[in-house]
Structure 1
Amino acid sequence: MPKVHLTGEKATMLATLYGRALDAEAPGSILHDTMAVEAVKQIDFDFSKVGLRRGDHGAVALRGRHFDGWTREFLAAHPDVTVLHLGCGLDTRVYRLDPGPGVRWFDVDYPEVIGLRRQLYPPRAGYEMIGSSVTDLSWLARVPGDLPVLVVAEGLVPYLREEEGKELFRGIVHHFPGGQLVFDALSSSGIKISKYDKVIRAAGATVSWGVDGCADLEAIDPRLRCVTSMSAFDIEGFEKLRASYRVFIKVARFFPVIKKMAGVYRLEF
């Protein structure tokens, strides 16, 4: 069993993996990520320390299902495409979606994270893992830039420093002929209150890049257009969450400052 010694933003992926595994074992599972269950069983780590509260797994699975849906939409419209899953952690999206032969899929994360993935998950055709910080743009040289690209960055953007994140977005836009970037982000207010988040505190992680709307994102590069901007509280399926979550979401929807603290975005270029 591989031992895990991760800290900071790298450690937050363990909470996400655990949440998806708990969801897969729960009645009425949202994501059905059975590979997450097997991964948790194989890792030598005390998952009770990741900071997830009882019932949190539903929200983790719901976010994952939302990004799976956006990914499926893009792949259906572009059978020949490159997918970049940035800050992939131990996510099993490529296995859940099982893309067709025209898809080149790259999972990118720190070398120690990719090393753990190689121990847990099998190889598959058209799939490559790249061990690198996503902000060290030298990794882009390993990815052909001839096809449209879908960039999936679930749970990544808040952990990037703002200027590094903007350089990452610009580097991708200049490397590919066109495509989409889909990701979630915290607002400036959301960044400030994140110090109370139990998962972030348990990992000893720091978040810094706050996104306050489409104007912030479109200013990064003139080719970027914001085609979808929505509150994370408007993701479909919140009725499946535990009662306390449902009450909080209903209240948050009446207060714009709270509602805008967490958002999901889709950019095109």
Structure 2
Amino acid sequence: MPEQYSLEDLLYLMSRLRDPDGGCPWDLKQDFLSITGSTVEEAYELVDAIRHNDRDHIEEELGDVLFQTIFYSQLARENDWFDFHQVVDSLTRKLIRRHPHVFPDGDLKTRFDGDIDVEQVRRQWDDIKLAERAEKSQHGLLDDIPDALPALIRAQKMQKRLSSVGFDWDSPLAAISKLKEELAELEDAIANQDAANIEEEMGDLLFCCVNISRHLKVDAEKALGMTNHKCEQRFQFVENNLQSQGKTPEDATLMEMDDLWEQSKLKNKLQSQ
């Protein structure tokens, strides 16, 4: 047994899993569509490990994400579309093309001699991606933003793209004014008990919140994730205190839980000082 397996060993392992003669029955049944759920799940598990700074699990989850690429590449090779090495080649070429400030003349070995301005790099990146979309006959500004992205992340990407052509609010205050307008429309929909309109206005309100976050240079996905984590910690405080009283949340009144919630907020505030 080798001291450390290589990428080539992993590719061989994948081919064995898909080998009709002695391969894994489960792996043999899979196709591109059937493993997409696992791909999304593995990506989220990696992000979760990173957020918790769990180094051992980061290594493990990176391997799981890599395996997804290996699996798709094996399926593609079986269909004579491309193989893993072509995936690596295409990726390397794309990254060289998108980083002319690092690889001048499109050469992997050359180096840029001079200062690199971050804002110039951002504009250059947008121009390059625009040219790439034109080459792919994706003429619509939003054509290449995947529908499968989580709605919050997709909203951020769409708004950023629209802003690049000047279709944007002038300031955070203008976006906040729009938020108030959308909130009033939601209130009207609720008053009219119009379920379809309530859903639509709720979506508009959320979209507007993302817009405000972008203007304030706040990552909406990250901000909401932090709030989710904060909510989880505070309610765990509520549950633990109720448990010490021999109660569960189902046994407690709203007033009791709300009081413990406020105690948790105060405790966190004192700890942060």
Give the TM bin, normalised by the shorter chain.
Answer: under 0.3
Q: TM-score with structure 1 length normalisation? A: 0.23
Which structure's CA Rg is the greater one? 2
Kindly indicate which of the two structures has a greater share of residues assigned to helix.
2
Q: TM-score with structure 2 length normalisation? A: 0.23
Structure with the greater relative contact order (CA < 8 A, sep ≥ 6): 1 or 2? 1
